[in-house]
Amino acid sequence: MADASVPQAATPAALQFVRVDLGTRLIDYERAWELQRDTHESVASALQAPTVLMLEHNEVFTAGRRTEPADRPTDGSEVIDVDRGGRITWHGPGQLVCYPIVPLPHPLDVVAHVRRMESAIISTCQDFGITTETVEGRSGVWCAANESAPARKIAAIGVRVARGVTMHGLSLNVDCDLGWAHQIVPCGITDAGVTTMARELAPAAAPSMITVADTLEQHLREVFEPTLTKRPA
């Protein structure tokens, strides 16, 4: 039995990835949000290992806390208001969504958490031959402007932290219809576009959702596992 008077060294916490019917079924946003909340409660209470949920949603708009009225669709499309940061975005078929529910190291640094996700996305895109970058003052991951197209957002990020544990996360456009981008102001940004891995790789074939998920999981492990520790007993 450990001596309670002697501080115990922290030990690495396992990180698990849960694919919620990925590649077989689309998940309603509200079902996934409930799963996030339940998982967050378990992780924050040290009843479950840090967990990353991976899935594809049915088509839906979600609005973060900073969404402006002018960002929203005007055609009556459903919008679900959520408790993450950021503004309005879209989820739907062909987009890989990851919800890391992980404890942050102390002192808490939410920006560092966002940077870790951006790094994993950039590495994933690079593995498929797509050069991406971050843009100062803007979250997410971008393809730089060139002679034929403006800067284009390929992945969005929005997070919430409660009890030192993260919720929400990232969405990477793998091979989705971009018609939704004309219905809203994506992430509140008016002077840039959106893109997908498939569009950037054309005319070459796009990678499958499962192949992208495998690669992104590897890179998320690389950035998250060094930060994870269990609380001493």
Indicate whether 90 belongs to any domain.
yes
Indicate whether 199 belongs to any domain.
yes
Indicate whether 9 belongs to any domain.
no
Measured CA angle at 19 (ends 174, 92), to 5 deg: 40
Give the H or E element holding residue 30: helix 29-44
- Is 187 among the catalytic positions? yes
- The CATH number of residue 36's host domain is 3.30.930.10
Q: How far is CA 172 from the centre of its chain?
A: 7
How many Å apart are CA 125 and CA 219, to the nearest integer?
11
For residue 16 the two structure tokens come to: 């698990």
- The number of distinct structural domains making up the chain is 1
Give residues with Cβ within 8 angstroms of 47, minimum separation 6: none
Q: Which ranges in 99-226 belong to alpha helices (H)?
A: 110-127, 197-201, 209-224
For residue 2 the two structure tokens come to: 């450990």
How many Å apart are CA 228 and CA 101, to the nearest integer?
11
For residue 161 the two structure tokens come to: 């932290």
Give the H or E element holding residue 55: strand 51-55
Indicate whether 232 belongs to any domain.
no
Its domain, for residue 214, covers 16-227
* pLDDT, the chain, mean: 86
Q: pLDDT averaged over consecutive 10-residue blocks of the chain (233 residues)?
A: 36 82 95 96 96 96 80 79 80 96 94 96 98 88 87 92 96 90 55 86 94 98 88 43
Looking at residue 77, its pLDDT comes to 79
Give residues with Cβ within 8 angstroms of 14, minimum separation 6: 49, 50
Indicate whether 4 belongs to any domain.
no
Indicate whether 233 belongs to any domain.
no
Indicate whether 11 belongs to any domain.
no
Indicate whether 185 belongs to any domain.
yes
Over residues 70-127, the pLDDT tens digits come to 778 777 778 888 878 777 788 999 999 999 999 999 999 999 999 999 999 999 999 9
Query: Which of the following is catalytic: 98, 125, 143, 187?
Result: 187
